Amino acid sequence: MIRLIVNGQQRDVTVDPETPLLYVLRNDLGLTGTKFGCGLGQCGTCTVLVAGQAVRSCVTPVQAVAGQEVTTIEGLGSPERPHPLQAAFIEEQAAQCGYCTPGIVMAATAFLARTPRPTEAQIKEALAGTLCRCGTHDRVIRAVKRAAVAMGGR
């Protein structure tokens, strides 16, 4: 049994310890907001926070995060009470198909925590490892800027 702390709740799972965190979140804990993109750590679609750091859950064995604070897109906020970054994405309508969106939001959350007053170039660089195929880049950048202001960065 592996003890996880996911979105502030203690969750015990009985799985092969090598199972990537992604599958445990989606299939054992029902947190399907985190998506499978490549299984190779290349696209950022599966990004979650582990102790505040952006981590690719598709290549992270679940045992590696035992006892650590894991935050998924569901833990950030809800449609009724969105996190300021999620609210900014909604305000900018920064999604098309929306499949990559949770991973981008999580990567941007970790980024804003360490860079509260980002330049546009910094935002682009920070999100360089998260792919969006629909072409929402412009709106995502605007949303991250908007969130930085809303969260008091500037």
Partner 1 sequence: MKPNRMTRRTFLKTGGAVVVGMGLAPLRDGRVAAQTVASADRFLGKTVATDAVDGFLAIHADGTVTLFTGKVDLGTGARAALRQMAAEELDVPVGRITMIEGDTALTPDQGATAGSMGVARGGMQIRRAAATARQELLARASQRLRRPVADLEAGDGVITVKGGGPAVSYAELVGDQRLNLTVDEKAPLKDPKEFRVIGKPVPRADVPAKVTGRHVFVHDFSLPGMLYGQTIRPPAVGATLLAVDESSVASIPGIRVVRIGNFLGVCAEREWDAVRAARQLKTSWSSGTGLPDQARLFEDIRANPIVRDESIATRGDAPVALAGATRTVSATYQWPIQSHASCGPSCAVAHVTADRATFWTGSQATRRDRMSFARILGLPQDRVRMIYLDGSGCYGMNGHQDAAADAALLSRAVGRPVRVQWTREDEHGWDPKGPPHLLDLRAAVNERGELVAWETQAWLPAPTPNLPNVPFLAVEAAGIAQPAGRSAGMIHQNIDPPYQVPNLRAVVHWVKDTPLRTSNLRAPGKVANCFAVESFTDEVAALVGVDPVEFRLRHLKDPRAIEVVRRAALRMGWSARPRPQTADPKAPVLTGRGFSYIHYKHSENYVAVGAEVEVERTSGRIRVTRLVCTHDCGLMVNPDCVRSQVEGCLLQGLSRTLFEEVTFDRSRVTSVDWSSYPVLTFPDAPLLEIELIDRPTEPPVGVGEAAATPVPAAVANAVFDATGVRLRTAPLLPDRLKAILRG
Residue list 94-123, contact with partner 1 (CB under 8 A): 94-102, 105, 123
74 binds partner 1 (CB under 8 A): yes
Q: Rounded to the nearest 5°, which phi and psi values hold at 20?
A: -60, 140
The one-letter code for the residue type at 141 is I
Tell me the closest approach of the beta carbon of residue 70 to partner 1, in angstroms: 14
Terminal Cα distance for the chain, rounded: 45
Decide the pairing of beta strands 47-50 and 2-6: unpaired
Tell me the closest approach of the beta carbon of residue 16 to partner 1, in angstroms: 7
**Cα separation of 151 and 3, whole Å?**
32
- Of the pair 37, 145, the CB lying nearest partner 1 is at 37
Token pair, residue 85, equals 């970054």
Site of interaction with partner 1 (CB under 8 A): 15-16, 19-20, 23, 26-27, 30-40, 42-43, 45, 72-74, 76-80, 82, 86, 89-90, 93-102, 105, 123-125, 127-141
